[in-house]
């Protein structure tokens, strides 16, 4: 796919992290970007950074756990820029407390944000992409969703695992609708939020964190690569940080 002239919606793009980096990378390559976030100030800042660099962007406030707001965000992108070609499901997170100690309503929202929301976004984006002859979706998962090790937020790990499997099962959309769905599974990403988390860790906890962390811009560049590569569909790539950042297809990894 030639990104120049295309329209993209990037969810969770308000913070100074992966979503903002992806939105800016797409705009730098000539896409018009609908910037989504629940943080109006952060989302507006992303939009302004894109516009200051000469790109096209608009901010849409929407909660990616609510179907009506997801549908409205997609409608906003299409109405504002004339269609929709690219969807990046980046919005995610797992606020404390966690399952099984958290109330049902709390951990259910984490499932909605990290799995049900991307599913709804894909479903509602498909008709818009079909009108344009196809499109590309990139799901941002997490290494929390692969392997067999315990995780501090079981609901987050389960949702991210679901996002990985969802991506693989949607490979046939490339042939049916011309819509390619791929997934990036990052490890530790060097964001302000993560750096603050590291500061609060004990030395024992920090010992398990890789010395080299991935920059948001590295994930952004790889997302752009997946969007542009017409040969890739239903593929899942794990972005390791040990021994230097490297994207490895999930099906090439040895089992645990």
| Band (248; pLDDT cuts 50, 70, 90) | confident
Question: What is the arithmetic mean of pLDDT over 238-242?
Answer: 74
Distance of CA 177 to the CA centre of its chain: 21
**Is 84 inside a domain boundary?**
yes
Q: Is residue 1 part of a domain?
A: no
Cα(132)–Cα(107) distance, integer angstroms: 37
Residues 256, 251: Cα–Cα separation, whole Å: 13
* Residue 244 included in any domain: no
Please give the pLDDT value at position 203.
Answer: 76
Residue 197 falls inside a structural domain: yes
Q: Residue 121 sits in which domain range? A: 7-237
pLDDT for residue 243: 42
Cα-based distances in Å from 9 to 27, 31, 104, 250: 11, 10, 30, 26
Structural domain contains residue 70 = yes
Point out the least confidently predicted range of 82-86, 133-137, 185-189, 193-197. 193-197
Total structural domains in the chain?
A: 1
207 band by pLDDT with thresholds 50, 70 and 90 = low
**Is 116 within the bounds of a domain?**
yes
CATH number at residue 145: 3.40.50.720
Catalytic residue IDs: 156
The predicted structure's pLDDT at residue 209: 64
In a domain, 255, yes or no: no
Q: What is the pTM of this model?
A: 0.92
Decide if 2 is inside a domain.
no
């Amino acid at each position: 796919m030639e990104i120049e002239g295309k329209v993209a919606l990037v969810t969770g793009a308000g913070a100074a992290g992966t979503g903002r980096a992806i939105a800016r990378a797409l705009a730098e390559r000539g896409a018009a970007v609908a910037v989504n976030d629940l943080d109006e100030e952060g989302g507006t800042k992303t939009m302004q950074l894109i516009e200051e660099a000469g790109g096209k962007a608009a901010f849409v406030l929407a909660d990616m756990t609510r179907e009506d707001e997801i549908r409205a965000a997609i409608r906003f992108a299409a109405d504002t820029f004339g269609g929709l070609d690219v969807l990046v499901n980046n919005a995610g997170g797992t606020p404390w407390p966690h399952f099984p100690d958290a109330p049902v309503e709390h951990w259910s929202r984490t499932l909605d944000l990290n799995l049900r929301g991307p599913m709804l976004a894909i479903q509602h984006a498909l008709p818009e992409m079909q009108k344009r002859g196809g499109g590309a979706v990139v799901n941002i998962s997490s290494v929390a969703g692969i392997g067999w090790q315990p995780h501090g937020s079981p609901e987050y790990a389960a949702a991210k695992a679901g996002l990985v499997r969802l991506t693989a099962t949607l490979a046939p959309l490339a042939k049916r609708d011309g819509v390619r769905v791929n997934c990036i599974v990052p490890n530790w990403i060097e964001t302000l939020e993560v750096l603050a988390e590291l500061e609060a860790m004990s030395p024992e906890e920090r010992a398990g964190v890789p010395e080299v962390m991935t920059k948001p811009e590295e994930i952004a560049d790889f997302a752009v690569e997946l969007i542009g590569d017409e040969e890739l569909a239903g593929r899942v790539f794990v972005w390791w940080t040990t021994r230097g950042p490297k994207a490895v297809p999930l099906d090439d990894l040895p089992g645990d």
